[in-house]
Amino acid sequence: MSEGYTVAVVGAGLVGERLVAELRRRNFPLKELRVLARSARTAVLDGETFEVGVAEPEAFEGVDIALFAGTEGEKGAAVQLAREATARGAIVIDNGSDFRLEPDVPLVVPEVNADAAREHDGIVANGNCSTIQMVVTLAPIARQFGLKKVVVSTYQAVSGAGRSGVEALENGQGDAFPKPIAGNAIPLIGGIGEDGYTSEERKMKLESRKILGLPDLEVHATAVRIPVHTGHSESIYIETEKEATLEGVLKALRSAPGVTFSGDANDFPTPLETAGEPGVFVGRVRVSGNAIEYWCVSDNLLKGAATNAVQIAETLVGAKV
Ligand SMILES: NC(=O)c1ccc[n+]([C@@H]2O[C@H](COP(=O)([O-])OP(=O)(O)OC[C@H]3O[C@@H](n4cnc5c(N)ncnc54)[C@H](OP(=O)(O)O)[C@@H]3O)[C@@H](O)[C@H]2O)c1
pLDDT at position 313: 98
Ligand 1 atom index nearest CA of 132: 6
| Ligand 1 contact via 162 beta carbon (within 6 Å) | yes
In whole angstroms, give the CA distance from residue 96 to residue 86. Answer: 16
What's the structural domain count of the chain? 2
Judge if 167 and 123 occupy the same domain: no
Tell me the best of 10, 35, 36, 38 to mutate to test the pocket of ligand 1, counting ligand atoms within 8 Å of each CB and taking the most: 38
Judge if 161 and 43 occupy the same domain: no
pLDDT in tens, 102-142: 999 999 999 999 999 999 999 999 999 999 999 999 999 99
Instruction: Kindly indicate the confidence band of residue 265, based on its pLDDT and cuts at 50, 70 and 90.
Output: confident
| Choice among 120, 220, 229, 232 that is catalytic | 232
Judge if 203 and 70 occupy the same domain: no
Judge if 112 and 14 occupy the same domain: yes
Q: At what angle do helices 129-145 and 246-254 cross, to 10 degrees?
A: 120
DSSP string, 32-55: EEEEEESS-EEEEETTEEEEEEE-
- CATH code of residue 47: 3.40.50.720
DSSP string, 165-219: HHHHHHH--SSSSSS--TT--B---S-B-TTS-BHHHHHHHHHHHHHHT-TT-EE
pLDDT at position 220: 98
| Ligand 1 contact via 165 beta carbon (within 6 Å) | no
> Across the beta sheet with 147-155, what order do the strands follow?
218-222, 147-155, 232-240, 291-298, 280-288, 259-261
Instruction: Kindly indicate the confidence band of residue 320, based on its pLDDT and cuts at 50, 70 and 90.
Output: low
pLDDT in tens, 63-114: 999 999 999 999 999 999 999 999 999 999 999 999 999 999 999 999 999 9
Judge if 184 and 274 occupy the same domain: yes
| Ligand 1 contact via 257 beta carbon (within 6 Å) | no
129 flagged as catalytic: yes
Judge if 68 and 113 occupy the same domain: yes
Instruction: Answer whether 306's CB lies under 8 Å from 276's CB.
Output: no
- CATH code of residue 219: 3.30.360.10
Instruction: Answer whether 236's CB lies under 8 Å from 155's CB.
Output: no
From residue 198, how far is each of 190, 205, 210, 214, 295 by CA, in Å?
A: 6, 11, 18, 21, 22
| Ligand 1 contact via 279 beta carbon (within 6 Å) | no
Judge if 139 and 189 occupy the same domain: yes
Judge if 67 and 114 occupy the same domain: yes
Q: Which domain holds residue 228?
A: 130-300
In whole angstroms, give the CA distance from residue 273 to residue 254. Answer: 20
Quote the pTM value.
Answer: 0.97
pLDDT in tens, 220-256: 999 999 999 999 999 999 999 999 999 999 999 999 9
The fraction of the chain above a pLDDT of 90, given in percent, is 95
Judge if 185 and 42 occupy the same domain: no
Judge if 250 and 313 occupy the same domain: no
Judge if 175 and 231 occupy the same domain: yes
Judge if 106 and 138 occupy the same domain: no
